[in-house]
Amino acid sequence: MADRSPSAKNGRGGERPLNVQVAVRCRPPNAKERLEPHFNIVQCDENAGQVTTPGTCGVVRKAAAATGEKTYNFDYVFGPTSTQKQVYDTVCSRAVDEVLEGFNCTIFAYGPTGTGKTHTMEGGKDEKNSNHSDDRHAGLIPRSVKQIFTRLRRSNQENSVRVSHLELYNEHITDLLSVSDEAEKLRIYDDEKTGTFVLGLAETTVEDESQVFQILQRSAKKRITAETEMNKYSSRSHSIFTITVHSKSTSSDGDELLRVGKLNLVDLAGSENIGRSGAVSQRAREAGNINQSLLALGKVINALVEHQPYVPYRDSKLTRLLQESLGGKNKTCIVATIGPAFSSLEETISTLEYAFRAKSIKNRPTMNSMVTKKELLADYTRRMARLEKELLC
């Protein structure tokens, strides 16, 4: 995350407040939209970091009150011709470096279904070898995996990298890296040291990028199975891919010190039922179409923006898992994705308003403290004991 804000320079371990960074990416019009008369009406000024939606004057707008032209300012704006590399270099490359320095960073993709969340996070699905980071279609996940291993190969420290990948559908967590086909009941626990974690979630140690790409192919297969079994699974599920890097050094008294950093890459469910203020729309409520986690995310953002004394993190699994990313110790960037056509203007405005509000959330990025090998072992022993107790219950 390249940071333009003045406070960013103080973020390194300083626990000074740092705003959540917000980027907007507008995808190019698709074949269906190109048949419409106003298929490219959202203007993106990448240099100024501005997105302008048109006034509805002269353009017939169904089921909505006429609105005037409106310009929104964001930290970064990517127009329809922006490349995957541009998005990566601007919002993710710095985050990878910060993870290696010992920070936890999170990047969310938020927006209506079909606007490019998965394209941004994972990359072009239709392309051969889409997971390969040399591919120009590769998204943030394969590019960050590649950068992490390139950096680690250059460092002379001993390192280890672990990945986990989960999906959340209807408040049920699926471990995409589990080899078992049986549905596990994964629960979230709080840990005073490391924050929330999912007990029993597979964390696979990986040696290089090609191993991660193989793992990602396996998890993609698991999602395809879920898609065929559950209605609209991909637009209603959230996925969280996490890369954890441990780097080892030796202290002056000979103890082994471990630095830990985490990168969370989050592809959220489609935001089409979420209104401008983050509340679920009346229409969606009537259809019983409520995504508990997205609703809770909107409430958490509102509570943080409005400085409410109570932030309802515990209302959903998503907000529990991402508590430190919103108003917490992580460095966070939201990439809001939108479409360019008049036919999706209502959704586009909702997304822009939502993303604009999120800009005022402040986090206090904190570098993870170094732990000795003994402390880390004690931590694992504690978790194992918990897992054993859980299995016996």
Q: Are 181 and 174 in contact (CB under 8 A)?
A: no
Q: Which of 118, 54, 107 is nearest to 76 (CA)?
A: 107
Select from ligand ADP, Mg ion, none the partner in contact with residue 119, using the beta carbon and a kind-dependent cut-off of 5 to 8 Å. Answer: ligand ADP
Closest to Mg ion by CB, 118 vs 244, is 118
Binding segment (CB under 6 A) for ligand ADP, from list 115-123, 152-160, 286-294, 351-359 = 115-123
The pair of three-digit structure tokens given for residue 101, joined into one six-digit string: 């320095």
Q: Are 175 and 201 in contact (CB under 8 A)?
A: yes
Neighbours of 186 (CB within 10 A): 18
List the one residue from 117, 317, 320, 357 that touches ligand ADP (CB under 6 A). 117
Helix (H) / strand (E) element for 217: namely helix 209-229
Binding site for ATP: residue ranges?
111-118
- Per-residue x/- marks for ligand ADP, 319-338, CB under 6 A? ------------------x-
90-149: which residues touch Mg ion (CB under 5 A)? 117-118
Task: Please report how close the Cβ of residue 105 comes to ligand ADP at its closest, in angstroms.
Answer: 21
Closest to ligand ADP by CB, 52 vs 113, is 113
Sheet of 50-53: strands edge to edge? 43-45, 50-53, 70-73
Binding segment (CB under 6 A) for ligand ADP, from list 1-9, 60-68, 117-125, 220-228 = 117-125
280/283 Cα distance (integer angstroms): 8
Q: What are phi and psi of 341, to 5 degrees?
A: -90, 160
337-356: which residues touch ligand ADP (CB under 6 A)? 337
List the one residue from 29, 102, 114, 278 that touches ligand ADP (CB under 6 A). 114
27/367 Cα distance (integer angstroms): 35
Task: Please report how close the Cβ of residue 139 comes to ligand ADP at its closest, in angstroms.
Answer: 9
* 124 scored as a contact of ligand ADP (CB under 6 A): yes
7-36: which residues touch ligand ADP (CB under 6 A)? 27-28
* Residue 29 DSSP code: P
Strands, E assignment, 151-227:
158-169, 172-175, 187-191, 195-199, 204-206
Contacting residues toward Mg ion, per CB under 5 A: 117-118
Contacting residues toward ligand ADP, per CB under 6 A: 27-28, 111, 113-119, 124, 270, 337
